[in-house]
Amino acid sequence: MATACRIGPVALLVWVLGPAAGLQATGEAAQEPTADPLTLADCYALALKQSEPIAIRRELIEETEGRFLQALSGALPRVSFSSSDKRQDASGESAFKLRDVPERKFVFSQPLFSGFKEFAAMAASRSERRQRMHEKARAEQLLFVDVADAFFLLLEHRGDLHALETIRLALLERLEELTERERLGRSRPSEVASATAQLRRIEADMQRVGGEETTARQLLEFLTGLARVGALAGDDWAIPPLSDEAAYLAKVEDRADLLAAEEAWHLAKYQVRVARAKAWPTVGLEGDYFTKRAGASEGVDWDVLLKVEVPLFQGGEAVGATREAASGARQAQLQLAETRRRAEREVRDAYVQVRAAIARRAALEQAHEAGEENYSLQVEDARLNLVSTLEVLRALEELQEVRRDLVHADAEAKRLYQRLRVAAGEPLSE
């Protein structure tokens, strides 16, 4: 009878083996077995392949390369072949009055000067490509935050189920002992009723947490594209020691979205040059090489034309385009400043939150050790009839709450640490 007061072998097995054993013991939230547990890095690699927004970012980079080629074409020569057959109302008596005037020729054109518009456009395209690459890198970092949140949230719910299952098994053993003691007249019916109510509340919590675990698993499956997420490897992963806040702030300048905003500013400045070029004169060289001519020009095989155009009045088009582009450049500069300030604030906020979460987890670890000791002492006192069963149940309930709080605090600290890394723009390799 006395030994029944301790946590039994099944409960101890669940406590040692971890969440997988606890889930299988419930018979309701069991996961399909997998060959190898998935790590956070595994889930992130799968999410990168699955993510449609990342694929769109890749296509945007391809789009900018196409614009670069278009800008480059403005500075390169153009060659085409032209064929025409002209019929006219003429007598055909001389070379100036032919009825049929066929013409075949190669046409060459080479821009010589247009206010350096093409070179500014090419530089703008290069800046835009770098901007898109940085935006893609930032999108990958934000995807990592989503995957890490889902990963540790799923681990948290599974750990919570494990803790609840452990307490449920302990309550079942206490309830069996109390029922036997009531039959012998050594316990009151109220003690049995109290233990039964506590057991039913645990079972209700298990149903709620089981639903949350399913939702978290489905979210991770959505991100990774897996049909079923099985075992996860992350319970034994520890947060490395934190550096000083200044060390994380120093990394902000290399954050992908900040680099993208800087390239957007450069792009806007190049667009100002392109707009200004509309007010500059243009110089071009055009040439024709004839393979077939008729009439008076039959013996002329080629011609060259130097063409100069000086814009005198455009109705304010060039001035308006320049002012618009200059305003866009100032907006891009302001956006860069805002991005930098927001990045620094995110690092400071994340640093404070993760430090507080780590401190809370450490305090809960101590509370959990004290709770385990208190429960063991209460069980021993109950064996000696020094305390009532209700006091043992109260100690068990306190231990349960601390254990669950510790599970939540551990997962929260890990999630916040990953957010700090992304806020500082750290590489995502583990």
pLDDT in tens, 8-37: 333 333 333 343 333 333 333 333 434 678
Average pLDDT over residues 207-217: 91
Report the pLDDT averaged over residues 148-160: 91
Q: Which is higher by pLDDT, 391 or 336?
A: 336
Residue 416: the pLDDT is 93
Check residue 5 and give its pLDDT.
Answer: 37
User: Residue 231, Cβ neighbours under 10 Å: how many?
Assistant: 16
Provide the residue type at 161 as one letter.
Answer: L
C-alpha torsion sign, points 150, 156, 157, 162: positive
- For the cut 70, the answer to whether the pLDDT of residue 349 exceeds it is yes
Amino acid at 188: R
Mean pLDDT of the chain: 81
Lowest mean pLDDT across 28-32, 76-80, 258-262: 28-32
pLDDT for residue 7: 35
d(CA 164, CA 156): 12
Q: What is the pLDDT of residue 95?
A: 65
Q: Which residues of 199-213 are buried (b: 16+ CB within 10 A; e: fewer)?
A: beebeebbeebbeeb
Query: In the predicted model, is pLDDT for residue 335 greater than 80?
Result: yes
pLDDT at 419: 93
Contact 277, 111 (CB under 8 A): no
Residue 195 neighbours by CB under 8 Å, 6+ apart: 171, 174, 175, 178, 389, 393
| Residue 155 DSSP SS3 | helix
Nearest to 64 by CA among 128, 13, 111, 136: 128
Nearest to 349 by CA among 258, 430, 252: 252
Q: For residues 235 and 277, which has the higher predicted lDDT (pLDDT)?
A: 277
364-409 confidence digits (pLDDT tens)? 999 999 988 888 888 888 777 777 777 877 888 788 889 889 999 9
The count of other CB atoms within 10 Å of the CB of residue 403 is 22
Q: Which of 17-21, 55-59, 69-73, 347-351 has the lowest mean pLDDT?
A: 17-21
Asked if pLDDT for residue 114 goes beyond 90, the answer is no
CB neighbourhood size of 50 (10 A): 16
Q: Kindly state the average pLDDT of the residues 312-334.
A: 87
- Beta pairing partners, 383: none
What's the start-to-end Cα distance of the chain, in Å? Answer: 51
For range 80-88, the mean pLDDT: 86
Q: Quick one: average pLDDT of 118-147?
A: 88
What is the per-residue pLDDT for 248?
92
pLDDT at 186: 61
Give the model's pLDDT for residue 414: 92
CA pair distance 42, 35, nearest whole angstrom: 13
Confidence of residue 187 (pLDDT cuts 50, 70, 90): low
Q: What is the pLDDT of residue 73?
A: 75
What's the average model confidence in pLDDT over 239-253? 91
pLDDT recorded at residue 27: 36
Q: Which amino acid does the sequence have at 368?
A: H
What does the pLDDT read at residue 247? 92
Fold for the domain defined by 2-424:
Outer membrane efflux proteins (OEP) (1.20.1600)
pLDDT band at 116, cuts 50/70/90? Answer: confident
What share of the chain in percent tops pLDDT 90? 23
Confidence of residue 340 (pLDDT cuts 50, 70, 90): very high
Beta bridge partners of residue 102, listed in sequence order: 85
Q: How far is CA 331 from CA 121, 170, 173, 321, 393, in A?
A: 19, 64, 69, 15, 64
